[in-house]
Amino acid sequence: QRADVAVTGLATMGRNLARNLARNGYRVAVHNRSAQRTDALVDEFGNEGTFLPAKSLDELVAALERPRRVIVMVQAGEPTDAVIDQLSSLLDTGDVIVDAGNAHYEDTRRRESRLREAGINFVGTGVSGGEEGALNGPSIMPGGSEEAYEALRPMFEKIAADVDGTPCCAYVGPDGAGHFVKMLHNGIEYADMQLIAESYDLLRQGLEMSPAEVGEVFTGWNNGDLESFLVEITAEVLGHVDTSTGQPFIDVVLDQAGQKGTGRWTVISALELGVPVSGMAEAVFARGLSSDIARREAARETLPGPSPLAAVEDRQQFVDDVRDALYASKLVAYAQGFDTIRAASDEYGWDVDLGQMATIWRGGCIIRARFLDRVREAYDRDPALPSLLVDDYFRQALADGQAGWRRVVSTAAQLGVPAPGFSSALAYYDGLRAPRLPAALIQGQRDLFGAHTYKRTDRPGTFHVDWSGDRTEQER
Ligand code: NDP
């Protein structure tokens, strides 16, 4: 009997995805460049379902039912191109290649267009949730032709995470849409993690709480609006004690944050689309700063902090304020993230359903949170919402939380504790709601030094002042 689906690339993610498919009753042909991984999968987990091991891509393709469905789960970049090239020469019209790796959406657009010419359906699919998600149910974000996705839908919906009976999988849009949304998910994850880290830092430094005490605060927050996987694991990390020293684990970990680049990709893409994503950008910058050891060392002994050091007076008030600042700043970061998806959707004609994206992130992925139900409801109320922040529910949440948020930002400045996520989110919020911005002055400066022209508040047209002459205004 032939296989229903094939997986090539059996490292952490591919192996677990193949097991997830097999556990759900699919016959899975499996292949890896080096055969040891294929053998190890069949040896260790062969009893979980039906695996058909293949030694080569030819064998893999030959093992499949038509139309053939091949999931590629290899290293992103050139390896993915190499595997897709080999596969495309072995497949026929109507067959489907799924790239489930972390491809850049522009690569996916390029691959999709090339394969479409060859009659092969290409589905660039974001898969979130890491190792654990791939095995037990990830959030799946497929992009490509809708007909091709239909051939995969029952299978994908079955292996995806499930929240209240709804699978965390939905067609995102044509060509690179799935990988774009997966990238955005990672950018939002960066922002969310940074805001949580700032909350921890402020409670620790502002109130001199122990890591375990801060962990308990997070556990409490996990019962309210902030309930989320990231808040839950934060409490777990903060409560953990290092086995070799008996110290809080967090105190023996080097304070240099790593990154694989998806946060940076998100910010670059958003800048190209003209969307301000200060939350994600500050998160990427903060990770960069943390790893800039030479500069940090040079500054540590040299640059003065606030003096005298401010003290927080009302401890419980401060804890509540930090919670409000975290929720409000998180809202800003998500609003910016959804704005970016909308901008890309308009730019590339993807017609992405934003509420649907919130739905498929509710389970199986790192940013899963109760809050995403509220996001979905906001887009259900108004699919054309100009910003999540102006939705009634969120507007009220911001109104309720803003006093605490403002106190936290000013206390952070007085304590000398960096809170770039909180403060830039607040600046974005105030910028967005400002009746008038100093952008008028920038237009004046641009007109003076570069004759870049300006528009007037009182009548249409484009104008320039003869700054170096008699300063009369000319219409351009
Ligand atoms: P890796 O990204 O570490 O890639 C290793 C796999 O790629 C191995 O199967 C390897 O084969 C194969 N490979 C590398 N180069 C080639 C090549 N030139 N030709 C054929 N095969 C090649 O594996 P992961 O499982 O960590 O990730 C797979 C994909 O999923 C990546 O795109 C990753 O970005 C993405 N992803 C990963 C997540 C994670 O948490 N790890 C989460 C979500 C997505 P061999 O064994 O022969 O070396």
Q: What is the pLDDT of residues 199-243, one digit of tens each?
A: 999 999 999 999 999 999 999 999 999 999 999 999 999 999 999
Mutate to test the pocket of ligand 1, among 75, 107, 260 (most ligand atoms within 8 A of CB): 75
71 lines ligand 1 (CB under 6 A): no
Rounded to 5 degrees, φ, ψ at 38 are -65, -50
Mean pLDDT of 415-439: 98
The predicted structure's pLDDT at residue 309: 80
260 CA → ligand 1 middle, Å: 13
- Smallest CA-to-CA distance from 197 within 270, 276, 290 is with 290
The predicted structure's pLDDT at residue 34: 97
The predicted structure's pLDDT at residue 121: 96
Q: Beta 463-465 vs 473-475: how paired, if at all?
A: antiparallel
- Residue 325: other Cβ atoms inside 10 A: 30
Taking only the tens place, the pLDDT of each residue in 106-160 is: 999 999 999 999 999 999 999 999 999 999 999 999 999 898 999 999 999 999 9
**Percentage of the chain surpassing pLDDT 70?**
100
**Residues recognised as catalytic:** 182, 189
Residues 6+ apart with CB under 8 A from 287: 190, 194, 257, 258, 259, 263
Q: ipTM greater than 0.90, yes or no?
A: yes
- Binding-site residues for substrate: 102, 128-130, 185-186, 190, 260, 287, 446, 452
- Whether residue 194 is predicted with pLDDT greater than 90 in this model: the reply is yes
Mutate to test the pocket of ligand 1, among 74, 86, 262 (most ligand atoms within 8 A of CB): 74
72 lines ligand 1 (CB under 6 A): no
User: What is the overall mean pLDDT for the chain?
Assistant: 97
What letter would DSSP give residue 309? Answer: P
Q: Which amino acid is at 311?
A: A
Report if pTM > 0.90.
Answer: yes
Taking only the tens place, the pLDDT of each residue in 257-302 is: 999 999 999 999 999 999 999 999 999 999 999 999 999 999 998 9
pLDDT band of residue 28 (cuts 50, 70, 90) is very high
138 lines ligand 1 (CB under 6 A): no
Round to whole Å and give the CA distance between 315 and 311: 10
102 lines ligand 1 (CB under 6 A): yes
- Whether residue 100 is predicted with pLDDT greater than 90 in this model: the reply is yes
121 lines ligand 1 (CB under 6 A): no
Which atom, in ligand 1's list, is nearest to the CA of 9? 9
Mutate to test the pocket of ligand 1, among 13, 97, 128 (most ligand atoms within 8 A of CB): 13
Q: Which residue, chain included where needed, has tokens 């959804």?
A: 338
12 lines ligand 1 (CB under 6 A): yes
Taking only the tens place, the pLDDT of each residue in 408-423 is: 999 999 999 999 999 9
Are 455 and 461 contacting, i.e. CB atoms less than 8 angstroms apart?
yes
Are 31 and 3 contacting, i.e. CB atoms less than 8 angstroms apart?
no
85 lines ligand 1 (CB under 6 A): no
**Percentage of the chain surpassing pLDDT 90?**
98
74 CA → ligand 1 middle, Å: 4
84 CA → ligand 1 middle, Å: 14
- Whether residue 310 is predicted with pLDDT greater than 90 in this model: the reply is no
103 CA → ligand 1 middle, Å: 11
127 lines ligand 1 (CB under 6 A): yes
Q: What is the DSSP string of 188-229?
A: HHHHHHHHHHHHHHHHHHHH---HHHHHHHHHHHTTTTT-BH
Q: Beta 121-128 vs 139-144: how paired, if at all?
A: antiparallel
76 CA → ligand 1 middle, Å: 7
Q: How far is CA 101 from CA 98, 180, 181, 317, in A?
A: 9, 12, 13, 45
Residues 6+ apart with CB under 8 A from 464: 447, 451, 453, 454, 473, 474, 476
Please tell me the number of Cα atoms within 13 Å of 415 on its side-chain side.
22
Which atom, in ligand 1's list, is nearest to the CA of 128? 43
Name the residue with the closest Cα to ligand 1, atom 2.
75
List b or e across 370-382, with b for residues whose CB sees 16 or more CB atoms inside 10 angstroms: ebbebbbebbeee
Taking only the tens place, the pLDDT of each residue in 453-476 is: 999 999 999 999 999 999 999 999
- Whether residue 308 is predicted with pLDDT greater than 90 in this model: the reply is no
